[in-house]
Amino acid sequence: MTNIKILAIGQNSELRSLRMASCEVWQVNPSWIISSLCSKLRPEGSEGGSWAPPASEPAAVTPPAPGCPPPPRTPSPPPEAPGPAPASPSGLQGQPLPRSGPQEQVQPRPARPLLAPGPRPAPPRLPRLRTDGRTSSSPRRWPGPRRRPAPRPAPPGAPRPPAMEPEGRARDRVPRIDPYGFERPEDFDYAAYEEFLSTYLVILTRRAIKWSKLLKGSSGVQRSGTVKRYIRKGVPLEHRARVWMGVSGAQAQMDQNPGYYHRLLQGERSDRLEEAIRTDMNRTFPDNVKFRKNADPCLQKTLYNILLAYGRHNEGVGYCQGMNFIAGYLLLATKSEEESFWLLDALLGRILPDYYGPAMLGLKTDQEVLGELVKTKLPAVAALMDGHGVLWTLVVSRWFICLFVDILPVETVFRIWDCLFNEGSKIIFRVALTLIKQHQGFILEATSVVDICERFKEITRGSLVTDCHTFMQKIFSEPGSLSMATITRLRESCRAKLLAQG
């Protein structure tokens, strides 16, 4: 005899444990269990026919706890005439099995009628097979990169082709000439630029949609909180001229002075002015195919007209080196000769006053203002400059004269100018402070005047300035608070100091 736990088979073919009132394990013969299980599978009155599942399953009977009176029993139907007991391998036919403890009579299970014949149920719907090999009930999986088949091995002795580096592949995909006509330098990082462009084009598309909705139905662009927020996030090239003209006041000046630009071109000749402008024509963007003499159309003549008209318009300034680069970028952005002239007037006449006068007092003043801001916000860099006796004009003069043209990447310069036309000259200080702060550790490693100057050139290159969108976010966070009132106060003190020095 073996100690086992008796199991009963339910209607759903699930094994259920038969709970006994005495909570004890019976001592039974295994062969009898097999016979009993077989008899359970055949309902009473059937002899080898097909068996159908009962309509419902009776609730399980839970024995009462010890010491509690048993529940009232439902009278059972009179027992039928007993038939021959099934043969048992052990010869025990229907004999009660002995067990210890109180005895409880087990009521026989009544016979259950067979299911009435009826229409066969519809077969279950199979899940629809998708073309990608998955079923409609399969969990969704994000598509991953396709696995390329392994390359076939080269035959013995065959020369191995040179490995294609990512930089080389990017060089083949990225055009050698950028959208503005500039040839990319030999040391241009094609791989980094391609990676940046893959995300920046998405940003430009999203911004273009928002700008189109903002400008739809409006005759001009006026300064507002919404426009300021939009400009900081970037102005698409197709809307740039209209936005610049509106927020800078150039559009209003052009509307109030119709025909003025063309009258300037017909004005009195000045050999000195014309010669100074003509001398710088071949020096202006020699790496841009649109400014070469063999270009069709050649922008040199258009640029010459803009500078000539401004020299006649502002005789106190005339022409100064650096103005050619600014006017050239305006022409690339607007593609309009007259609009470029009025934007140049807005920059040099109102936004950056006295930058290009004979004494360049405004330019020198703002360079000293930058030095004072560095003392406050980056004292270690200021101490390095003072320790080596390096003047700020020696390292940042081109930043202010050219407004970062030919110093930072083209798209980065245009993003800076987006904010410059709307918020004024404090944007120049934000850009300068961000460049210095982001490379503070690199600058502090300098050991000489020459080393300091070289490091200030190096900080205008690299991925920081290539990713113009991230860079523009940094210029409004890295320098911290920088109000126009603070800049005006510093300008007054620095200007007085310069005038006292003579």
Q: How many residues does the chain have?
A: 502
CA 36 to CA 105: how far, in whole Å? Answer: 17
- Its domain, for residue 493, covers 354-502
Q: What is the largest CA-CA distance in the chain?
A: 137
386 domain-assigned? yes
93 domain-assigned? no
177 domain-assigned? no
Name the residue among 301, 344, 299 with its Cα closest to residue 319: 344
The average pLDDT across 376-402 equals 96
Number of domains, the chain: 2
- Residue 481 maps to which CATH number? 1.10.472.80
Give residue 140's pLDDT.
46
Give residue 85's pLDDT.
47
Question: Has residue 405 got a pLDDT over 80?
Answer: yes
Structure-token pair, residue 346: 């807005």
CA 293 to CA 85: how far, in whole Å? Answer: 116
Q: pLDDT confidence of 364, banded at 50, 70, 90?
A: very high
Q: pLDDT confidence of 152, banded at 50, 70, 90?
A: low
DSSP letters of 39-75? HHHS-TT-SS------SS-PPPPPPPPTTSPPPPPPP
More confident residue, 77 or 377: 377
Q: pLDDT confidence of 256, banded at 50, 70, 90?
A: very high
424 domain-assigned? yes
More confident residue, 66 or 19: 66
Give residue 250's pLDDT.
97
235 domain-assigned? no
* CA torsion through residues 345, 347, 352, 356, sign: negative
324 domain-assigned? no
Mean pLDDT, the chain, rounded, equals 78
- Residue 117: asked if its preceding bond is cis (omega within 30°), the reply is no
CA 68 to CA 70: how far, in whole Å? Answer: 6
318 domain-assigned? no
**Residue 342 CA to its chain's centroid (Å):** 37
The average pLDDT across 252-266 equals 96
Give residue 158's pLDDT.
46
Give the percent of the chain with pLDDT over 90: 56
Q: What is the pLDDT of residues 157-183, one digit of tens each?
A: 444 444 444 556 777 788 889 999 999
Give residue 138's pLDDT.
45
The average pLDDT across 398-425 equals 96
Structure-token pair, residue 463: 């991925």
Contacts of 30 (CB under 8 A, 6+ apart): 2, 4
265 domain-assigned? no
Give residue 188's pLDDT.
85
CB 298 within 8 A of CB 284: no
CA 356 to CA 401: how far, in whole Å? Answer: 8
Q: pLDDT confidence of 434, banded at 50, 70, 90?
A: very high
Structure-token pair, residue 115: 């299911």
